[in-house]
Structure 1
Amino acid sequence: MAKIIVAAPPIPGELAPLLQLGVDLAARGHRITVLTGSRFRSAVENAGLAFVPLSGAADYDIAEHAVMPERLAAAPGPEQLNIDWINAFVNPMPDQHTALQELLAEDPDQYLLCNVLFLGMLPPVMGVPGRKPLRWVGVSAVVMALSSDDTTFFGPVPVGPGEDQVAANRAANAGFTAAMCPTQERMDQLLRELGATEPTPSFVDAVAVLPDETAVLTVPGFEFARGDLPANIHLVGIQPTRSAPDWQPPDWWSELDGSRPVVVVTQGTLANHDFTQLVEPALTALADLDVTVVAALGRPASALSIPIPANARVAEFIPFDRLLPKASVYISNGGIGGLQQALAAGVPVVVAGETEDKPANAARVKYHGLGIDLATATPTPEAIAAATASLLEDSTTAGNVERIAKVYAEHDALTEIEHLLLR
C-alpha cells in the first residue's frame, strides 16, 4: 500500500481523470488523499476518498472564470490562452504550494499524482524551500504543447520542396513561446516571490518535463510524433468511462437499435452556455437527414432556443460508455475527453472549436485523418450537414478510426500510471 496525494485544479475536465485514478488506485489498496477545490468535497467523499480543500486563489469556480468580461472580450488564440493560463493555473500556484507543503509536513512518506496544470510542486523543484514527495507523477489530460524539432502544438509546419522542416518547426515553437510571454512572466514573478533560485523552463515545457514522470492521456496515432520526446514523458492511453450503476436509459433509448445511423452532438460540460454555437446549428442541419440525432447538452433541454426536430433526442446527461458504441458520427467543439472517447469507440468525428486546446485537438484529427475539422466555433448548418454526410460514406476515415481504436484498446492507463508512480 502506498500513500498518494492526488491533486488537480478545480476544473471538472482536469479533475475528473485524477479522481477516477484515485478511485481505481484505492481499489488496488492504496491510501488516497484528494487535494482540490472545496466545491468538489461531496464528489470526492462520495467516492470514498479523503478530501483536503484548496484555499485562496487556488479555490475558484471555473464557471465564473469562463464568463469573465476580460476573457469574453479576448480574441481566441494566444490572447485568450494567456488569460486562461494565468488565472486558472499560474495565479493559484502559491496557494497550491502551501497546501501541498502542509500535507507533506504531516506525512512526508507520500507520493504525488497530480494534473500537470496543478503547479503546486513547481516551487520546490525551482529551489523554493519545501518538502518533495517520494515521487511526483504528472498526468496530462490535454494534448502536448511541448516544444519539438518535429512538430508544434498544432502539428508540423507545412513546408515547400527543399525547405527545412526542423527550422520551420523551431521558428513556430519560438513564436508560440513568445506569444505566451504574459503567462511566463507571471509564473516567473510568482516563483521569484516564493524564493526560487533555479531558472524556469518555458511554461509549456515545464509542466511536462519537471515531474519525475509525466503520463499523457492519449496514444500514438493521435498525438503528433516527436523523435525528441523526453524520456520522462509517456503516452499511456485513456481511462475507460463508466456510467453510474443506477443510470436509467431514457424512454427513447430503444430507438438506437442500429436501424439508422446515430449522430451524437455535444458542446461538453463547460463551453455549453451558448447552444447557438454548435448544438442548435447541428439539430437544424441534420433535421432532414435519415439519422437519429442525440444531443448531450450538459444543461436542461429548456436551455435550447429552437424546437427539437422530430429525428432528435436530447438529454442533460448521457454516459458516453453507453452512447458512443451506438454512434456513427460524433460532433463536438473539440473537448479532448469526449473526442478521444469517441475515437476509442471507433467513431469518426466532426470538430468545431476555437478556444482553449480545441484547435490543437482539431489539428490532430485533421492530420491523422480521423474526421473533419470545420475550423470555426460557429459552423453553419450547411457545413455541419455536409461534414456529417461525408463521414457516413467515408471508408478511408472509417479505416483510420478503426486502426486508432485498436491502439487505444492496447493501453491500460491505470496500470501504466501506477507503475510510473511506484516503480
Structure 2
Amino acid sequence: MTPSALICSMPAVGHVGPLLVVATELQRRGWDVRLLTGARYRSMVEAAGIRFLPLPPEADTLDDIGTGDDVRERGLATINRGVERAFLDPAGPAAATLEHVLAEEPVDVVLHDMLFLGVQTLFGRPRSERPLTVMCGITAAGFSSRDTPPYGLGITPLRQPVLNRLRNRVLGVTAKAVLRPVHRSLDLFLAGVGAPPLNGAFFMDVLSRSDLLAQFTVEEFEYPRTDAPDNLRFYGPMATAAARPTPAPAWFDELDPALPLVHVTQGTVANTDYREVIEPTFTALADLPVQVAVTTGGRAVETLPPLPANAFAASYLPYDELLARTSVLVTNGGYGGLHHAMRHGVPIVIAGDSEDKVETSARVQHAGVGVNLRTGRPTPDAIRSAVQRILGDPRYAARARAIGDAIEAAPGAAGLVDDVEAMVAARG
C-alpha cells in the first residue's frame, strides 16, 4: 500500500517553503502527499508537483497580519495579541478543515508547522486511532525547559546553571501571568476539539504532543536543554535550489575584492518600510571602507532611498554567489535567511523585534555568530558599531563557519523522511 502524508502549513512563505522541501522528498520516495495551506500558495505547491488543499478564509490569515494598514505587533503586543492572532484565531477553522480532509482521505502521517494549532484536534483520540504526527520547527524551538527562558521574551540563558534555572523559573511564572488570556483561550479551544487541557503548562508546550519534534536547524544553533523531549531531532534547514537561478547584476563583477562586502536585507515580508534596517545601514556605512549590497526582496529598486556611493542594489541576487563574498549580513532575522548565511560562514548583525524574530535574534547572540541589536529600528550608530565589531573580531566568522559545517553535515529532508518511514514501519 502506498504510504500517505498530509502536510499542514500556515499561510506564510517561511512556513510553506521549508515544508514543500519535505513534501517533495516524500513524493520522490513514492508517498502520496497533499499540502494544506493558504490559497495564494496554490501555484507554488502545484508547481512542485504536490496536491494542494486550501485552508478556509478564516484560517488563511497569517500572511495578512502586519500588512496594509495593520501595524506589526512589537514588544509585549507580540506575545499577547500577536499570539492570539497568529496561533489561536485560525485554530478552530483549521481543526475543522483537518478533520474533514482526513475523514475523506485518511493518511499515515500528518506533518504540521509549529503554528498549525488545528492539529490539536487529533490528540483527543487514542494514539492508535489517529495518524502519526510530526511537528516541523520552522523557527526557534518554543517548548519549555528548566534551562531556557519562556519563549517570546527574547532572553538568552545564563551561563551559570543554578542561577539560570532559578531565573527561568521566575520568568516562567511571570510569563504565564502576562499571557493568562492566551492560556485561557487556548484551553477553551482544546476543550472544544476534545484535546487534553494545558494543565498549567506554558502555551507553547502543546507542540510537544506530536510523535516527532523535527527542528529545522542544527543543535549548535539552539539552546541546550538537559530536559529536552526524547522525540526531539535536529535535521538542519530545509533548503533547495531555486527553480530559476537569479542572474547576477552588471555591478556584481565590479565589486572590489579588497574591501569587505556587507549585505543588508529586510527579507521578502517585512520589507515595506526601509527605515527599519536598510536606510540606517546606508547611513551607518556610507563613509566606511566597505561595500554594501542590498536586496529589496522583490520590490523595485527605485523604491529604495538614495544609495550612497559605496552601495549597490538589486531586487534579488544570486544568494550563494553573494554570500560566498559577504563579510557581514545585516538583517531583521528571518530563520531561513540566517541559516543560509551561516551555511556560508557569514556572521550576522540582527535587528528584529517582531513576530518570532526576538527569539531568532537571541539565538544569534547566544550562538556567538553575530551581534543582536535588540530592536527592529536600530540607529545608524548601533549598526556601524556592530559591523565594525564583527569585522574586527574573527571569532564571529569562525563561529558562523562552525555552525555552517554542522548545517552541511545535517541529515536534512532525507533524514527526516528516513525517520518518518521508520515510525510508520514500527507502527506496522
- Tell me the TM-score normalised to structure 2 length: 0.90
Q: Cα deviation per residue 1:94-148 (whole Å; 9 max; x = unaligned)? A: 2212222222222224321111211121022045999622x11110111122211
**Contact 1:155/1:364 (8 A) holds in 2:** yes
Once residues 35 and 251 of structure 1 are traced to their aligned partners in structure 2, the CA distance between those partners, rounded to angstroms, is 40
Gaps in structure 1 of 5+ consecutive residues: none
Q: Residue 289 of structure 2 aligns to which amino acid in structure 1?
A: D
User: Paired residue for 1:149?
Assistant: 146
Closer/same/farther in 2, CA of residues 199 and 276 from structure 1, 3 Å limit? closer
1:396 Cα offset (Å): 1.9
Task: State whether structure 2 residue 194 is matched by structure 1 residue 203.
Answer: no
- Secondary structure at the counterpart of residue 57 of structure 1: coil
- Pick the aligned partner of 2:75 from 67, 77, 90: 77
- Secondary structure at the counterpart of residue 221 of structure 2: coil
Task: Within 5 Å, give how 1:137-286 maps onto structure 2.
Answer: 137-152=134-149, 153=151, 154-157=155-158, 164-196=163-195, 198-199=197-198, 201-207=201-207, 209-256=208-255, 258-286=257-285
- Secondary structure at the counterpart of residue 330 of structure 2: strand
Once residues 286 and 65 of structure 1 are traced to their aligned partners in structure 2, the CA distance between those partners, rounded to angstroms, is 29
Closer/same/farther in 2, CA of residues 318 and 176 from structure 1, 3 Å limit? farther
Closer/same/farther in 2, CA of residues 131 and 119 from structure 1, 3 Å limit? farther
Closer/same/farther in 2, CA of residues 417 and 127 from structure 1, 3 Å limit? same
User: Paired residue for 2:352?
Assistant: 353
Q: Cα deviation per residue 1:143-185 (whole Å; 9 max; x = unaligned)? A: 12221111224322476xx964322222222322332222222
- Secondary structure at the counterpart of residue 404 of structure 1: helix
Once residues 188 and 141 of structure 1 are traced to their aligned partners in structure 2, the CA distance between those partners, rounded to angstroms, is 24
Q: Cα deviation per residue 1:205-259 (whole Å; 9 max; x = unaligned)? A: 112x111001111112211100000111112211234223353222222234734
Once residues 325 and 313 of structure 2 are traced to their aligned partners in structure 1, the CA distance between those partners, rounded to angstroms, is 15
User: Paired residue for 1:316?
Assistant: 315
**Contact 1:129/1:195 (8 A) holds in 2:** no
**Contact 2:21/2:413 (8 A) holds in 1:** no
Percentage of identical aligned residues? 34
1:329 Cα offset (Å): 0.5
Q: Residue 264 of structure 2 aligns to which amino acid in structure 1?
A: V
Name whichever of 384-393 and 249-258 sits farther off. Answer: 249-258
Q: Residue 295 of structure 1 aligns to which amino acid in structure 2?
A: V
Q: Residue 124 of structure 1 aligns to which amino acid in structure 2?
A: L
Once residues 177 and 209 of structure 2 are traced to their aligned partners in structure 1, the CA distance between those partners, rounded to angstroms, is 20
Count of residue pairs the alignment pairs up: 415
- Secondary structure at the counterpart of residue 372 of structure 1: strand
Q: Cα deviation per residue 1:257-307 (whole Å; 9 max; x = unaligned)? A: 734222110111222121011101111222222222111112222222x21
Name whichever of 41-50 and 353-362 sits farther off. Answer: 353-362
User: Paired residue for 2:40?
Assistant: 39
User: Paired residue for 2:11?
Assistant: 10
Closer/same/farther in 2, CA of residues 188 and 56 from structure 1, 3 Å limit? farther
Q: Residue 77 of structure 2 aligns to which amino acid in structure 1?
A: E
Once residues 68 and 205 of structure 1 are traced to their aligned partners in structure 2, the CA distance between those partners, rounded to angstroms, is 33
**Contact 1:37/1:54 (8 A) holds in 2:** yes
Closer/same/farther in 2, CA of residues 19 and 419 from structure 1, 3 Å limit? same
**Contact 2:6/2:107 (8 A) holds in 1:** no
**Contact 1:101/1:130 (8 A) holds in 2:** no
Once residues 119 and 130 of structure 1 are traced to their aligned partners in structure 2, the CA distance between those partners, rounded to angstroms, is 21
**Contact 1:128/1:196 (8 A) holds in 2:** no
**Contact 2:3/2:32 (8 A) holds in 1:** yes
**Contact 1:127/1:198 (8 A) holds in 2:** no
Q: Cα deviation per residue 1:326-363 (whole Å; 9 max; x = unaligned)? A: 21110011222211211121001001111122222222
- Tell me the TM-score normalised to structure 1 length: 0.91
User: Paired residue for 1:22?
Assistant: 23
**Contact 2:187/2:197 (8 A) holds in 1:** no
Once residues 291 and 334 of structure 1 are traced to their aligned partners in structure 2, the CA distance between those partners, rounded to angstroms, is 22
User: Paired residue for 2:425?
Assistant: none
- Pick the aligned partner of 1:86 from 84, 87, 110: 84
1:317 Cα offset (Å): 2.1
Q: Residue 31 of structure 2 aligns to which amino acid in structure 1?
A: H
